[in-house]
Amino acid sequence: MIQTVLQSSSHDHADSDAAPEAVIQLQQVHKRYPMGRECVHALRGVDLEFNRGSFWAIMGASGSGKSTMLNLLGCLDRPSEGRLLIEGRDTAKLNDNELSDLRLRRLGFIFQSFNLIPQLTVRENIEMPLYYLGWEPADSAVRAGELAAMVDLGNRLDHRPAELSGGQQQRVAIARSLANDPAIILADEPTGNLDTATGEAIMDMLKNLHAQGRTIIMVTHEPDIAEHASHRLHMRDGEVDRIEC
Amino acid sequence: MNRIRIIRDVKLGVKSLMLHKLRSLLTMLGVVFGVGSVVAMLSIGEGASRQALAEIRKLGANNILINAMKPEDDSRPGRSGRTVMSVYGLLYTDEQRLKESFPSITSTAPAKILRREARLGEHTTEVRIVGTTPEWFSLVQRPLIAGRYLNALDQQTSANVCVLAELVARKLLAGHHTIGQNVRIGGDYFTVVGIIRNETASSGGVQTPDQPVDAYIPLATGRALFGDINTQRKTGQFIRERVELHQIIAQVDKIENVQATATAVKAMLERFHKQEDYKLAIPLALLRQAEETQRIFSIVLGSIAGISLLVGGIGIMNIMLASVTERTREIGIRRAIGAQRKQIILQFLIETMVLSIAGGLVGLGLGLLIPLAITYFASMPTVVTAWSLILSLSISAFVGIVFGLYPAYRAAMLDPIVALRHE
């Protein structure tokens, strides 16, 4: 099921396997933001390249800059200094609407606390990116059905998030993150609120997505979860500490 | 396709509002009462206005009424046993001049008024004798119930004929065949030739020229039988008055000329009367005045009602601000997924619009019921006009936009990173 849906929706990535291509580039990226009277220097000149189709785990103690990094990669924020290119586009030069559009078309988010909208059903939650993409209701209903079936929740479409277990909610969130057929999936502690067995199941799902050619960047502090990734980026004090492959 | 999207957006808004049914309902109530009171207030204002205007129209919008008035300094009481004679009022020559020297006056009707007892068989009643000319009936248009009006022949022959007002006819002729009866009025007999229906009203201190106790006789007959001197006996004294005419009604050709003609008539009367023993009443001026008064009345009532609408709007804004705070995380999620600021604004604006328009529609129903109840219980006339419905509904939509814009803007300006972290 996963195979068919993903192949039909991500064919444009298929031919990029041959030559590794940088889907995200960071060049001397700094991020400072005011906190009270002081200015926090969260990123201090980071140079990185994320290749298309790679699976990264970003690790580090709290305050190491990994959250700031994920916010920048997710186009929720812009660097204070330096260049951050997403598929060749410099995010510092994009306005709020253009950043929103980039998130809408190229990125998918998975959060630690699932972040489903409580008053909406599973189907409506999965449909949300399609709604902002301007899909016809009939088409997006079909697509949401396919995605729900892919995460084994085809029979829960009309349930509310509160009626689902944590693992099920995270699967809905994964389905939602895939609705717009994103090039890059950003996951912020996706297993942080789940028990080990459920967390492993979610990781299997992410590995499958990786196998289908998606770029996945995941923030985690659990080493055994990070083991699933192809690259591990350790951060410390706003700088890249080391990279394991 | 666009319509489908809007329907979906509205459905989504309704869904979010239905999450807090009681809260949404209470919020809506503000607009319900606001719109309800605007519609009700305007309908009361409109009803009162139409009633006043209808009453003034009975006076005749084209007419100028000139009434004889006993001057103040002449009305001191005479000593016991003595006779005081006061001479005042309008003159036959006044009417002549009005008719001849004012091109804008198309017609005039004089009235010589006396109070006498009328009798038919064993029935008696006090009547107001109005000695007048046939023109009266074209200037003070009242429907005939039976018979005919006075005519030129009655005038020429000083015939002893009368036209009775309905009330007088009922009192005297109860159970009899009406037309052709001989009624004794004062010391003389008059043949009833017609009965008319009164439409009396008074507005702004001006009485319609006709009264329910009227008996109309030819002016020539009145002069011949009663003369110009009227003697009334009061305890221990006689009051004698010499009055030629008590009232003259002048009809002006065009409404635009009424004011100018009235000014000229006043100037003429000032020249020929030593004392101010007359008073002009211009129904048109009263009409204008009443219209102005009613307009102000409507504005005041509408503004008071508008304030309650404003309060309703503030209630909506309050709740929407609370809702934005409560749904900060939802806003963060939507922004992270790729919703633009304007889409967040639209989402919240639709919710306030749904609240205010739904409230407006319910308020409209309330606004239609209140006037009905007022008319039923307080027998006050009320008129619900289409424009007041359109006005109040568009105001409620406007309230939705105005008071929804700020909360929606606040929602859209939230930093998605902060919003996502919000608990």
pLDDT in tens, B358-371: 999 999 999 999 98
Tell whether the torsion through CA atoms of A163, A168, A173 and A175 is positive or negative: negative
For residues B407 and B353, give the distance between their C-alpha atoms in angstroms, rounded to a whole number: 12
* A134 interaction partners in chain B (CB closer than 8 Å): 5
Q: Helix A196-211 and helix A166-178: axis angle, to 10°?
A: 20
Q: How many CB atoms lie within 10 A of CB A75?
A: 26
**What percentage of residues in chain B have a pLDDT greater than 70?**
93
pLDDT at A2: 44
With respect to residue A40, please indicate whether it lies within any of the assigned structural domains.
no
For residues A75 and B114, give the distance between their C-alpha atoms in angstroms, rounded to a whole number: 98
* B332 interaction partners in chain A (CB closer than 8 Å): 115
Does B257 score more than 50 pLDDT? yes
What is the number of domains present in chain A?
1
pLDDT at A5: 45
Is residue B243 within 8 A of residue B114, CB to CB? The reply is no
Does A126 score more than 90 pLDDT? yes
Would you call A132 and B343 a contact, using CB atoms and an 8 Å cutoff?
A: yes
Would you call A128 and B335 a contact, using CB atoms and an 8 Å cutoff?
A: no
pLDDT at B121: 82
- Choose from B8, B10, B333, B337 for mutation: most chain A CBs within 10 A: B337
Of B8, B329, B338, the CB nearest to A100: B338
Length of chain B counted residue by residue? 423
pLDDT at A15: 46
Q: How many CB atoms lie within 10 A of CB B24?
A: 22
Least confident of B289-303, B331-345, B405-419: B289-303
Place B170 in a pLDDT band, splitting at 50, 70 and 90: confident
With respect to residue A164, please indicate whether it lies within any of the assigned structural domains.
yes
pLDDT at B399: 87
Place B134 in a pLDDT band, splitting at 50, 70 and 90: very high
With respect to residue A202, please indicate whether it lies within any of the assigned structural domains.
yes
pLDDT at A20: 67
Q: Closest Cα of chain A to B420: distance in Å? A: 8
What number is the average pLDDT over the span B372-387?
Answer: 87
Place A9 in a pLDDT band, splitting at 50, 70 and 90: very low
Would you call A103 and B336 a contact, using CB atoms and an 8 Å cutoff?
A: yes
CA distances from B377 to A135, B37, B151 (A): 57, 17, 46
pLDDT tens digits, residue range B190-213?
999 999 988 776 655 667 788 888
Q: Is A170 exposed, middle or buried (0-12, 13-18, 19+ CB in 10 A)?
A: buried
- Higher-scoring residue by pLDDT: B44, B331: B331
Would you call B336 and A128 a contact, using CB atoms and an 8 Å cutoff?
A: no
Place B219 in a pLDDT band, splitting at 50, 70 and 90: very high
pLDDT at A179: 94
**What percentage of residues in chain B have a pLDDT greater than 90?**
29
Q: Is A47 exposed, middle or buried (0-12, 13-18, 19+ CB in 10 A)?
A: exposed
What number is the average pLDDT over the span B215-237?
Answer: 83
With respect to residue A47, please indicate whether it lies within any of the assigned structural domains.
no
Place A16 in a pLDDT band, splitting at 50, 70 and 90: very low
**Residues in CB range of B205: below 8 A, 6 or more apart:** none
pLDDT tens digits, residue range B31-86?
999 899 888 888 888 888 888 777 777 777 788 889 888 876 554 454 445 566 77
Of A76, A100, A137, the CB nearest to B340: A100
Does residue A137 sit at the B interface (CB-CB below 8 Å)? Answer: yes
pLDDT tens digits, residue range B288-300?
887 888 888 888 8
For residues B232 and B83, give the distance between their C-alpha atoms in angstroms, rounded to a whole number: 10
pLDDT at B249: 92
A and B: number of Cβ contacts within 8 A: 63
Does A17 score more than 70 pLDDT? no
With respect to residue A159, please indicate whether it lies within any of the assigned structural domains.
yes
pLDDT at B294: 81
Would you call A109 and B340 a contact, using CB atoms and an 8 Å cutoff?
A: no
pLDDT at A1: 41
pLDDT at B301: 82
pLDDT tens digits, residue range B148-161?
999 999 989 999 99
Instruction: To the nearest 10°, report the CA torsion of A152, A119, B400, A104.
Output: -30
pLDDT at A69: 92
pLDDT at A12: 46
What number is the average pLDDT over the span B158-165?
Answer: 92
CATH of residue A201's domain is: 3.40.50.300
- Higher-scoring residue by pLDDT: A162, B231: A162
For residues A122 and A141, give the distance between their C-alpha atoms in angstroms, rounded to a whole number: 11
pLDDT at A136: 87
Mean pLDDT of chain B: 85
Range of the domain at A75: 2-11+52-79+95-244
**Residues in CB range of B214: below 8 A, 6 or more apart:** B127, B128, B130, B164, B165, B168, B198
pLDDT at A182: 93
Would you call B338 and A115 a contact, using CB atoms and an 8 Å cutoff?
A: no
Which residues does B contribute to its contact with A (CB < 8 Å)? 1, 4-5, 8, 15-16, 19, 329-330, 332-341, 343, 416-417, 420
Of A100, A107, A117, the CB nearest to B333: A117
pLDDT at B73: 58
Does B236 score more than 80 pLDDT? no
Would you call B336 and A105 a contact, using CB atoms and an 8 Å cutoff?
A: no
- Choose from A67, A128, A131, A184 for mutation: most chain B CBs within 10 A: A131
With respect to residue A29, please indicate whether it lies within any of the assigned structural domains.
no
pLDDT at A8: 41
Longest CA–CA span in chain B (Å) reads: 107
Does B331 score more than 70 pLDDT? yes
Would you call B338 and A132 a contact, using CB atoms and an 8 Å cutoff?
A: yes
- Choose from A35, A76, A110 for mutation: most chain B CBs within 10 A: A76
pLDDT at B174: 64
DSSP B64: E
Would you call A105 and B338 a contact, using CB atoms and an 8 Å cutoff?
A: yes
With respect to residue A237, please indicate whether it lies within any of the assigned structural domains.
yes
Of A100, A101, A136, the CB nearest to B1: A136
Q: In this predicted complex, what is the ipTM?
A: 0.89
Mean pLDDT of chain A: 88
Place A3 in a pLDDT band, splitting at 50, 70 and 90: very low
CB contacts under 8 A, A 3-22 vs B, are none
SS3 of residue B126 by DSSP: strand
Does residue A103 sit at the B interface (CB-CB below 8 Å)? Answer: yes
Place A54 in a pLDDT band, splitting at 50, 70 and 90: very high
Place A10 in a pLDDT band, splitting at 50, 70 and 90: very low
